[in-house]
Structure 1
Amino acid sequence: MAYPGYGGGFGNFSGQMPGMQPMPGAGPNVFLGGYPGPLPYSDSYSSAGDPMWSYFTAVAGQDGEVDAEELQRCLTESGISGTYSPFSLETCRIMIAMLDRDYTGKMGFNEFKELWAALTAWKENFMTIDRDRSGTVEHHELSQSIAIMGYRLSPQTLNTIVRRYSKNGRIFFDDYVACCVKLRALTDFFRRRDHLQQGFVNFVYDDFLQGTMAI
Structure 2
Amino acid sequence: MAFPGYGGFGSLNQQMQMMGQAMAGPNINAGYFGQPQYPQGDPLWGYFSAIAGQDGEIDADELQRCLTQAGIHGTYTPFSLETCRIMIAMLDIDHTGKLGFNEFKELWGSLSAWKQHFCTFDQDRSGTVEPHEFSQAIMAMGYRVNHQTLNVLLKRYNKNGRIYFDDYVACCVKLRALSDVFRRRDSMQQGFVNFVYDDFLQCTMSI
Question: TM-score scaled by structure 1?
Answer: 0.85
Q: Match of 1:116?
A: 108
Matches of 1:23 and 1:203 in 2, distance apart? 37
Q: What secondary structure, in the 3-state scheme, does the structure 2 residue paired with 1:13 have? A: helix
Matches of 1:10 and 1:128 in 2, distance apart? 20
Alpha-carbon deviation of 1:8? 5.5
Residues 1:82 and 1:10: Cα distance change in structure 2 (over 3 Å): farther
After superposition, give the CA deviation of every residue in 1:105-163 in whole Å (9 maximum; x if it has no partner).
00000000000010001000000011111110111101111111110110110011000
Residues 1:123 and 1:22: Cα distance change in structure 2 (over 3 Å): closer
Residues 1:168 and 1:112: Cα distance change in structure 2 (over 3 Å): same
Amino acid aligned to 2:107? L
Q: Match of 1:7?
A: 8
Q: Match of 2:177?
A: 185
Equivalent of 2:38, from 23, 47, 51? 47
What 5-or-longer segments of structure 2 have no aligned partner?
32-36
Q: Is the 8 A contact 2:9 2:110 kept in 1?
A: no
Residues 1:8 and 1:87: Cα distance change in structure 2 (over 3 Å): closer
After superposition, give the CA deviation of every residue in 1:47-91 in whole Å (9 maximum; x if it has no partner).
212111000000000000000000000000111000011100000
Residues 1:65 and 1:99: Cα distance change in structure 2 (over 3 Å): same
Q: Is the 8 A contact 2:88 2:97 kept in 1?
A: yes
Alpha-carbon deviation of 1:22? 3.7
Q: What secondary structure, in the 3-state scheme, does the structure 1 residue paired with 2:203 have? A: helix
1:86 aligns with 2:72: no
Query: Cα RMSD (Å) of the superposition?
Result: 2.1
Matches of 2:146 and 2:60 in 1, distance apart? 32
- Runs of 4+ aligned residues of structure 1 deviating over 2 Å after TM superposition are 6-11, 41-47
Q: Is the 8 A contact 1:43 1:110 kept in 2?
A: no
Alpha-carbon deviation of 1:7? 2.8
Residues 1:83 and 1:197: Cα distance change in structure 2 (over 3 Å): same
Residues 1:212 and 1:159: Cα distance change in structure 2 (over 3 Å): same
Matches of 1:84 and 1:71 in 2, distance apart? 17
Alpha-carbon deviation of 1:43? 7.1
Question: TM-score scaled by structure 2?
Answer: 0.89
Q: Match of 1:73?
A: 65
Matches of 2:145 and 2:9 in 1, distance apart? 14
Count of aligned residue pairs for this structure pair: 196
Q: Match of 1:173?
A: 165
What 5-or-longer segments of structure 1 have no aligned partner?
26-40
Q: What secondary structure, in the 3-state scheme, does the structure 2 residue paired with 1:182 have? A: helix
Q: Match of 2:50?
A: 58
Matches of 2:167 and 2:130 in 1, distance apart? 12
Q: What secondary structure, in the 3-state scheme, does the structure 1 residue paired with 2:166 have? A: helix
